[in-house]
Structure 1
Amino acid sequence: MAFERVGVVGLGTMGAGIAEVFARAGLRVIGVEADAEALARGRGHLERSTGKAVDKGRLAPEQRDEILGRITLTTSREDLRDVDLVVEAIPEILDYKISLFKDLDRICEPGTVLATNTSSLSVTAIAAATGRPGRVVGMHFFNPAPVMKLVEVVGTVVTEPGVVADVTALAGRLGKTAVAVGDRAGFVVNRLLLPYLNHAAALMELGVAGRDDIDAAMRLGVGLPMGPFGLLDLIGLDTAYEVMGVLFDETRDRRHAPSPLLRELVTAGLLGRKSGRGFYGESGAYDGGAPHREQARSRLGTFKVVGYEDEGDGLAERLRAAGFKPSEDPDVVLCLADRPVIEHAVRLPDPARMVGVHLVGEQVAELASTALTSERAATAARDLMKIVGLTPVPCKDRAGFVVDALLFPFLNDAVRMYDAGYASIEDIDAAMRLGCGYPAGPFEMLESFGLARVRDGLRALYTEYREPAFAPASLLDQLVTADVSEFPRR
């Protein structure tokens, strides 16, 4: 099907961005809002967005005029009667969307495709409310729509053959990368992203690590563009809470139940950047500055590194180069070995001196304190890491520490998603790279880390937390057992 005339209902920031995307691709657009005041706000969104593009040299003034000239704004839904496609971008309330789609079904020609921009609600429920369920799909853009390259195209069990392919082709015409998925709560991106964010809040509540340290570990250690708490503040805590509720309603997986901390912040009206305060305040930011070297030396004279030979030797050499002395009777013992660290600490004459060290990437050192670790040893370990150019992430002696505890369940969810036939490896990887700015997709990460390492890490998490979803996915377990290092592409 050729799409040349499209309608967009709802011209908030997202809807106006979607209208702009269509107009930039040369399509005629009819933008609809509820009243004149809302329409004026929508016009303002379009003018500001295209104006910024001109100011940055991404659009010529005459191109901006052409784009805006392709968009007709109206308060009458009846003006949509001759369009080829309508995309809905109204608030994420299922009753509102169903009411709108019933009205669009009445107004539009029988062949018109109706699409919802929902990020997590049931496309099937919306389609079933119309007389054309086979021509209703999800077309989930990401904010800001003119910039983000991903579109999730969602088909249902009743979608007509060819409709998803037509809409996917249209997304390509818009300059987007489309991933075709089934109708499951959260689709691909939110179904993988939100449980990870919720899990970060749970680790913070359990006291495994602090807010700033968790964010630093994921940004600097994994290379994610934002830590989980900074990202939650950007998304909006209320939005994250609502999506988690939708996921929980469908799965009844207790990991998908919004964390109590998230619920408390939303109830208090602390919604993130939109309200000026959430997990962070307006100026909240991680400060990874190192202490003055002489100040740290005054607290610590000697060290000993034990554990993995290669990593241990490398860390010891960095410490010696910084002017610190190894000793058999040290002030602090840095243990690079499998956890639990406490099992290594109790072998020492003074277990209070031991701190577990887990190096993550080139910049982060997770520092695990046991129940016996002294504050002096923990402080000294933090200072040493800073002096040798590593960002310390203090945490408890728990399975996975911080990074693996957050990352491995996320990777496990991706394996289950693929194994269920819900989306391809290529689409899942593309969705997380383009939708979240990840440096690599989950399957690229899995194969880089090594399947056996991830499988064993999940087993350790399951043993400690007894969370059923932490048990390694059957496909992952089978591939490791078969000594296969890559996932089969279907």
Structure 2
Amino acid sequence: MTRSFEKVGVVGLGTMGAGIAEVFARAGLGVTGVEADPAALERGRGHLEGSTGRALAKGRLTEAERAEILGRVTFTTSLEDLADADLVIEAIPEVMDFKRALFTDLDRICKPSAVLATNTSSLSVTEIAATTARPGQVVGMHFFNPAPIMKLVEVIHTVTTEDGLAEEVAALARRLGKTPVSVGDRAGFVVNRLLLTYLNHAAVLLENGLATRDDIDAAMKLGVGLPMGPFTLLDLIGLDTSYEVLCVLFQESRDRRHAPAPILRELVTAGLLGRKAGGGFHRDEEPGGPPPTVKPSVGSVAVLGEGAEEFTAKLSAAGFKTASAEAADVVVALSRNPVIELAAGLPHPERLVGLHLVGDGVAEVASTVLTSAEAARAVEGLVRIVGRTPVRCRDRAEFVVDALLYPYLNDAVRMYDSGYATVEDIDSAMRLGCGYPSGPFEMLDELGLETVRDGLRALYAEYREPSFAPAPLLDQLVTAGVRSIRDLP
């Protein structure tokens, strides 16, 4: 049957729940908002009035439109008022026992035809549905914060979801002006499963001393074009929230990359939860801003590797003298790979610094175990003079950007190959849910499957992390000469 969703209930009117209620009211649906007690109810009302008030002040709503939206929402502390709702969405805290208890009550109260939805960001929808006598009518409907602005909605179906229900809920999301993506019931769904794994990996690399917090942030923001670096984003999300999602992921997968990095656990234990607590990976009192550009005192430079001629020309134009690798004060080795073997073959290995140019604005400055601090600082200065941001790192496989990017892309291939989300939905989810400039499969097409496969092999050879091994599908595509995963029949 085709359902008509006209009366909607929202349980939990925190920032997210109030935002969801606003989304439905903006689309012309009647909404009943439920909170646990009068004080929480008034806070929920305040969230809704504040959000619509800001939209009014910015000219996005008229007074009449705001009044209509607020008039469509009824506030109550009684779940019994949801008896005639066509759809009920819960947005209560991410505690499974709380959600299961609530769904048991909703199953008793709501009419038999009502669809029950959870806004969980990572918990098992199947486990929640099993609490009810109507598991076929339970879905996930994961909105993103702030719900009135963010376009993405993950629609999660389980093995018991009735045929066609996920499509009807997706159609409802489109009616709300959102872009739905259909996802199977796996911990973290699409966005959190890919995003939190990448963020956790960044924390592990920080702990391992590959690069500093600020260098990793700069590498991913300026080198890949992401809206913000991983540590800035972790602080924005909240370290406690990130830790909890990773615990859910690890509980399901037992993949070491889902186990929260020790530094993340330590910060959470210390109460350093991110922006909301005044500090996390970044502290509010820390000075900001890049260091001033100072011309390095280098007598002569040698540039080796692919692209050496062009880079040498830029240095010459900036007034630097060039020399042979044997005679130069500093040797720059342009490379995508570790350069320690090259350094070991020079008469002055301490003068060699690896340099990996990323995009148009970043250069990874890789120091080997033999590189002197003076040579590394000199190359940082050279990089700034030619208009790039230096990212200091150790001489490790794939340096920083690719060491973070390639496993993320590999995870996306595994996700698609497992069959619980399509290429298009995964790309849409990461663009709309994270603000990424492109989805993982669009990045794969741009970088080339073979380049990513070979980079993963290098990462696996160095770190011996099983999940760094190329996904079987990726390996097979490269072997078969397929240029894009979209070319599959």
TM range (shorter): over 0.9
Letter in 1 for 2:271: G
2:311 corresponds in structure 1 to 315
Shift of 1:286: 5.8
2:435 corresponds in structure 1 to 437
The 1:139/1:285 distance shift into structure 2, 3 A limit, reads: farther
Letter in 2 for 1:27: L
Q: Write the mapping of 1:272-287 to structure 2, written as runs, cut at 5 A.
A: 272-282=274-284, 284=286, 287=289
2: distance between equivalents of 1:383 and 1:326? 16
The 1:121/1:442 distance shift into structure 2, 3 A limit, reads: same
2:407 corresponds in structure 1 to 409
SS in 1 for 2:65: helix
Shift of 1:283: 5.1
2:260 corresponds in structure 1 to 258
1: distance between equivalents of 2:200 and 2:67? 43
Q: Is the aligned partner of 1:70 residue 2:72?
A: yes
The 1:332/1:236 distance shift into structure 2, 3 A limit, reads: same
Contact 1:290 1:386 in 2 (8 A): no
1:359 corresponds in structure 2 to 357
1:461 corresponds in structure 2 to 459
2:480 corresponds in structure 1 to 482
Given candidates 105, 110, 113, the residue that maps to 2:115 is 113
1: distance between equivalents of 2:274 and 2:65? 36
1:383 corresponds in structure 2 to 381
SS in 1 for 2:421: coil
Letter in 1 for 2:241: T
Contact 2:338 2:398 in 1 (8 A): no
2: distance between equivalents of 1:384 and 1:130? 65
Q: Is the aligned partner of 1:170 residue 2:168?
A: no
2:471 corresponds in structure 1 to 473
1:79 corresponds in structure 2 to 81
1:102 corresponds in structure 2 to 104
2:370 corresponds in structure 1 to 372
Shift of 1:62: 1.0
Letter in 2 for 1:253: D
1: distance between equivalents of 2:147 and 2:310? 45
2:13 corresponds in structure 1 to 11
Letter in 1 for 2:266: E
2:222 corresponds in structure 1 to 220
Contact 1:212 1:285 in 2 (8 A): no
Letter in 1 for 2:429: A
Given candidates 303, 317, 323, the residue that maps to 1:327 is 323
2: distance between equivalents of 1:437 and 1:377? 37
Given candidates 184, 187, 193, the residue that maps to 1:185 is 187
Percent identity, aligned pairs only, is: 69
2: distance between equivalents of 1:313 and 1:173? 56
2:130 corresponds in structure 1 to 128
2: distance between equivalents of 1:46 and 1:284? 34
Deviations 1:397-426 (A, max 9, x none): 001100000000000000011111111000
SS in 1 for 2:43: helix
2:418 corresponds in structure 1 to 420
Letter in 2 for 1:336: L
1: distance between equivalents of 2:478 and 2:182? 29
Letter in 2 for 1:386: R
User: What is the CA RMSD across the aligned residues, in angstroms?
Assistant: 1.0
1: distance between equivalents of 2:258 and 2:475? 24
What is the number of equivalent residue pairs in this alignment?
Answer: 484
Letter in 1 for 2:40: A
Deviations 1:238-271 (A, max 9, x none): 0000000000000000111000000000000000
Letter in 1 for 2:226: L
2: distance between equivalents of 1:15 and 1:187? 19
Given candidates 138, 145, 155, the residue that maps to 1:153 is 155
Shift of 1:387: 1.2
SS in 2 for 1:398: coil
SS in 2 for 1:225: coil
Given candidates 38, 48, 51, the residue that maps to 2:50 is 48
2: distance between equivalents of 1:448 and 1:124? 37
Shift of 1:23: 0.4
Deviations 1:166-194 (A, max 9, x none): 10000000000000110000000001000
2: distance between equivalents of 1:18 and 1:283? 35
Deviations 1:12-69 (A, max 9, x none): 0000000000000010000000001001110110011111111111111111111011
SS in 1 for 2:364: strand
The 1:5/1:17 distance shift into structure 2, 3 A limit, reads: same
2: distance between equivalents of 1:68 and 1:168? 25
2: distance between equivalents of 1:437 and 1:407? 16
Shift of 1:288: 3.2
SS in 1 for 2:398: coil
